[in-house]
């Protein structure tokens, strides 16, 4: 078995005696300090996980950043033996409604083949089928503006309706909006977690995670249950988000945002990258605007521009019928051209602030506009469909 220094070939891995080898992969991946890169190096040096395991603590010489306790943990793991470890882990995962996947399993997502250092073990909850649907990642800042939320919703909605899985990181902000929009459109969505399955991060998205898992989507992570979460885990999962997806859309990201790491991961493995432009005075869009300016990402010109770019046809769009009063129609019509605060609407429509405030409450109640708790109002998907229905 030949592996490169940075990774290993999934097809190669499968050709080995998979059933015998699998428990050793799982056991080896549990040794502290053995991440995807060290794992690949060990495979290359010893030929198989089984032989690496056989080498005992000597193999830690090939793990450059093994923590102090690694030897002790390895000794303990070796006393239990790979079979016992695997069975215990699988039992634990079953309780969480999860399973584990190694590149030796047929269910391992093929799209991860081109990722540098694919994870030797993936922990999954939900529908494993979701990993085999063509997918597009929608990522962005945890602190989006209303504009970003609205864009994420519309793009994810278009993707889900077109039958693509929406991949994101379950974070607050853009990630959450993308997952939610995909669920609302009855689509599949995959959340790549920075945490193990038994401690969903962020806790505020626990409900969302549960809904993803039961509605044809999947929760995916590299971390075994019980593992504490560290900062690098956030960066590491970004490469999985990009790797699982045919294309990555960055909706809103300031400079030095985690979403930009996902973007560069997509570039590294040669996947399509899209970025949603933002106002040039908006700090929250400075990262995405730079991606476009540097010709690293394609400019997203409409919610379905990603579909066009990938050559995928648009899904069906239901048309909503609604009857509106004059001032409500005026407010909504103005917002459909461009989102804005009540103050901006006053200047654009000439209607008084008080009357507009009332009209917007009514539009909010009917699910046609939303302010995401801020001062700026955005038309919702339903509102856009009225626009198109006319």
Query: Which residues of the shown chain bind another protein in the complex (CB under 8 A)?
Result: 142-143, 145, 172, 254, 279, 281-284, 340-344, 346-347, 352-355, 357-362, 364-365, 371, 373-376
Nearer to another protein, 149 or 246 (CB): 149
Nearer to another protein, 180 or 284 (CB): 284
What's the number of CA atoms in the CB half-sphere (13 Å) around residue 56? 4
Closest to 146 (Cα-Cα) out of 260, 288, 249, 285: 285
Smallest distance from the beta carbon of 320 to another protein, in angstroms?
A: 17
Smallest distance from the beta carbon of 170 to another protein, in angstroms?
A: 14
> DSSP readout, 151-181?
HHHHHHHHHHHTTPEEEE---TTHHHHHHHH
Smallest distance from the beta carbon of 99 to another protein, in angstroms?
A: 31
Nearer to another protein, 227 or 341 (CB): 341
Nearer to another protein, 57 or 282 (CB): 282
Tell me the C-alpha to C-alpha distance, in Å, between residue 119 and each of 7, 128, 376: 9, 16, 42
Check if the beta carbon of residue 254 is closer than 8 Å to that of residue 284: yes
Smallest distance from the beta carbon of 148 to another protein, in angstroms?
A: 11
Q: Supply the angle between the helices 353-365 and 342-349 in degrees, to the nearest 10.
A: 120
b/e sequence 242-273, b meaning 16+ C-beta within 10 Å: bbbbbbbbbbbbbeebbbbbbbebbbeeebbb
Smallest distance from the beta carbon of 157 to another protein, in angstroms?
A: 21
Smallest distance from the beta carbon of 353 to another protein, in angstroms?
A: 4
Rounded Cα distance between 39 and 120, Å, is 7
Smallest distance from the beta carbon of 145 to another protein, in angstroms?
A: 6
Check if the beta carbon of residue 54 is closer than 8 Å to that of residue 78: no
What angle is formed at CA 58 by the lines to CA 53 and CA 62, rounded to 5 degrees? Answer: 90
Smallest distance from the beta carbon of 140 to another protein, in angstroms?
A: 14
Check if the beta carbon of residue 368 is closer than 8 Å to that of residue 360: no
Smallest distance from the beta carbon of 171 to another protein, in angstroms?
A: 10
What is the DSSP secondary structure assignment for residue 69, as one 8-state letter?
T
Check if the beta carbon of residue 196 is closer than 8 Å to that of residue 2: no
Closest to 245 (Cα-Cα) out of 171, 310, 325: 310
Nearer to another protein, 69 or 367 (CB): 367
Nearer to another protein, 141 or 189 (CB): 141
Smallest distance from the beta carbon of 367 to another protein, in angstroms?
A: 9
Nearer to another protein, 293 or 357 (CB): 357
Rounded Cα distance between 147 and 377, Å, is 9
Nearer to another protein, 211 or 366 (CB): 366
Secondary structure element (H or E) that encloses residue 248, with its range? strand 247-250
SS3 337: helix
Nearer to another protein, 15 or 352 (CB): 352
E runs forming strands in 117-236: 122-126, 135-139, 165-168, 189-192, 218-221
Nearer to another protein, 313 or 373 (CB): 373
């Amino acid at each position: 078995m030949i592996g490169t220094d940075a990774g290993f070939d999934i097809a190669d891995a499968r050709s080995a005696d998979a059933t015998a080898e699998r428990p050793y992969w799982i056991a080896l991946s549990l040794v502290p300090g053995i991440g995807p890169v060290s794992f690949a190096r060990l495979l290359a040096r010893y030929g198989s996980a089984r032989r690496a395991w056989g080498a005992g603590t000597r193999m830690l010489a090939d793990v450059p950043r093994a923590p102090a306790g690694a030897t002790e943990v390895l000794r303990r793991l070796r006393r239990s033996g790979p079979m016992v470890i695997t069975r215990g882990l699988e039992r634990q995962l079953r309780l969480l409604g999860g399973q584990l996947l190694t590149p030796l399993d047929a269910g391992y997502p093929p799209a991860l083949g081109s990722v540098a250092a694919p994870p030797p073990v993936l922990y999954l909850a939900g529908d494993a089928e979701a990993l085999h649907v063509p997918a597009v990642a929608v990522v962005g800042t945890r602190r989006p503006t209303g504009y970003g939320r609205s864009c994420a919703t519309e793009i994810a909605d278009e993707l889900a309706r077109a039958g693509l899985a929406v991949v994101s990181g379950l974070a607050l902000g853009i990630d959450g909006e993308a997952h939610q929009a995909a669920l609302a459109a009855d689509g599949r969505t995959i959340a790549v977690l920075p945490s193990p399955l038994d401690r969903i991060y962020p806790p505020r998205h626990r409900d969302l995670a549960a809904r993803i898992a039961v509605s044809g989507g999947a929760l995916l992570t590299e971390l075994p249950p019980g593992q504490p979460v560290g900062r690098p885990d956030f960066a590491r999962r970004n490469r999985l988000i990009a790797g699982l997806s045919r294309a990555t859309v960055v909706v809103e990201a300031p400079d030095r945002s985690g979403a930009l790491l996902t973007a560069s991961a997509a570039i590294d493995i040669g996947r399509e990258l899209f970025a949603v432009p933002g106002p040039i005075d908006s700090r929250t869009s400075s990262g995405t605007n730079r991606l476009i300016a540097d010709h690293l990402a394609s400019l997203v010109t409409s919610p379905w521009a990603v579909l066009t770019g990938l050559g995928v046809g648009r899904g069906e769009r239901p048309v909503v019928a609604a009857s509106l009063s004059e001032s409500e129609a005026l407010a909504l019509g103005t917002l459909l051209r461009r989102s804005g605060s009540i103050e901006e609407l006053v200047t654009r429509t000439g209607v008084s602030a008080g009357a507009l405030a009332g009209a917007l409450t009514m539009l909010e109640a009917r699910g046609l506009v939303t302010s995401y708790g801020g001062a700026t109002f955005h038309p919702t998907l339903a509102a856009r469909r009225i626009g198109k229905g006319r």
